[in-house]
Amino acid sequence: MIYLRQIELGPMGNYVYLVGDPETKVCAVVDPAWDARAIFDAAKADGYRIEQMLITHGHHDHLNAIEPLLSLVDARVHIHEQDAFAVPAIGDALVPVRGGDRLELGKLSVRCLHTPGHTEGSQCFRFEGNLMTGDTLFIRSCGRVDFENSNPEKMWASLKSLCGLEDSLTVLPGHNYSPEKSVSLGVEKTQNRFLRAALNAGPEKFRALVGL
């Protein structure tokens, strides 16, 4: 059993997540953005202590509450090393990670999956039957690949790698772009045209699908 709370914040429909270990009451914030006080108060109201921040990628709308939240809590900030340049100067609080790393949160283990494409350092977080996908995978869609730091071929490869994971995983995306707040990966494999293209077609067809 885990502690999991999904909070929608900001003008872009961002999902901020609290995930933690019910036994130790330690939690992490995934993609802290827009309202540090609201995030802090939500964790406190549920009886949890924020000790880590997990960042799916280095875009402003997923990390702009790091500094104000650090004024409220003593926490480590984990972002993939290839996107670490996007984090403000926070000294030793910044602890970059690589794909395959595991982060311990009380008795909960979180695995980092490097999924470049939307950005070079995009990553997903897997734990206890859940998959937090940031802007790599949305419900029925995927992240944009027309930014300076994006790469459609790498997005194709990342989505293809996600297709190899268990259907039972619950996908928890980085934005509220769908009436559904979460969905099983198995459903996405059948209903998400971008995942289907990654699984059944090559990178050229995927580029055409995303309009590049």
Nearest of 147, 146, 143, 149 to residue 194 by alpha carbon: 143
Q: What are phi and psi of 205, to 5 degrees?
A: -65, -35
Q: What pLDDT score was predicted for residue 211? A: 82
User: What CATH number is attached to the domain comprising 12?
Assistant: 3.60.15.10
Q: What pLDDT score was predicted for residue 101? A: 99
Mean pLDDT by 10 residues, the chain (212 residues): 97 98 98 99 99 99 98 98 97 98 97 99 98 98 95 97 98 98 98 94 90 74
Number of domains, the chain: 1
Please indicate, yes or no, whether the overall pTM of this predicted structure exceeds 0.85.
Answer: yes
Q: What pLDDT score was predicted for residue 212? A: 67
Residue 135: how many other CB atoms lie within 10 Å? 26
C-alpha 130/C-alpha 185 separation (Å) is 9
CA 66-140-194 angle, to 5 degrees, is 100
State the DSSP string of the chain. --EEEEEEETTTTEEEEEEEETTTTEEEEES--S-HHHHHHHHHHTT-EEEEEE-SS--GGGTTTHHHHHTT---EEE-BGGGGGGS---GGGB--B-TT-EEEETTEEEEEEE--SSSTT-EEEEETTEEEEETTEETTEE----STT--HHHHHHHHHHHHTS-TTPEEEESB--SS-S-EEHHHHHHH-HHHHHHHHS-HHHHHHHTT-
- Range(s) of the domain holding residue 177: 3-209
